[in-house]
Amino acid sequence: MLGKVDINLDIHTFTQNVLKNETTMYRVAKSILPNDADCEDAVSEALLKGYAKLYMLREESFFKTWLIRILINECYKIRREKKVAVDLQSCEEILPVYDAEYDPMLHEAIMNLPSKMRMVIVLYYIEGYAVNEIKSILHIPSGTVKSRLSRGRQLLKEHIESEEV
């Protein structure tokens, strides 16, 4: 648990952890929400809620996973409130979010995955989370994570092969 001895230390630690994870947070938000403004709102709300509930964090080593879970919940809340029908084909502005070495064909294939598979693929392959971390973030069994990864890889392969023909 983060100590309550000095509130400045908590603020500093929180800020440092947020700065380390800001790119990841935006990528995760962008994989759920197509609109940049909504992504920014989700990240902001997640940070506010995370800071307000910092006392609930049991170990600092779980900070990233804990904050990403809060962010995912915020993204889904925004999507529900706006009742947005996400048009993945028109979501071209996400391309710069991935590293400069992105592959447009792979990006298109990822964006065409069902949202549950897309989230697991992004967390595992792009953000580098382990299966057990994804299990904790999404509150699903590790077998489900593995099956979504497997099915997602298969769908990506099929999409890329069909584009190459």
Question: Regarding predicted confidence, which is higher, 38 or 10?
Answer: 38
- The whole-number pLDDT of residue 120 equals 92
Whether the per-residue pLDDT at 132 is higher than 60: the answer is yes
Question: Regarding predicted confidence, which is higher, 99 or 142?
Answer: 142
Residue 25 pLDDT level (bands cut at 50, 70, 90) = very high
CA distance 159 to 145: 21
Residue type for position 100: A
- The whole-number pLDDT of residue 102 equals 59
- The whole-number pLDDT of residue 68 equals 93
Question: Regarding predicted confidence, which is higher, 87 or 46?
Answer: 46
DSSP state of 125: I
Question: Regarding predicted confidence, which is higher, 25 or 58?
Answer: 25
- The whole-number pLDDT of residue 40 equals 93
Could you tell me the domains of the chain? Answer: 1-86 (1.10.1740.10), 88-165 (1.10.10.10)
CA distance 130 to 123: 8
Tokens of 9: 């230390």
Spatial neighbors of 21 by CB under 8 A, at least 6 apart, are 63, 64, 67, 68
- The whole-number pLDDT of residue 164 equals 67
Burial class (CB in 10 A: 0-12, 13-18, 19+), 114: exposed
Burial class (CB in 10 A: 0-12, 13-18, 19+), 53: exposed
Tokens of 127: 């953000």
Whether the per-residue pLDDT at 4 is higher than 60: the answer is no
Spatial neighbors of 2 by CB under 8 A, at least 6 apart, are 10, 13, 14, 54, 55, 57, 60
| Chain length of the chain | 165
Residue 71 pLDDT level (bands cut at 50, 70, 90) = very high
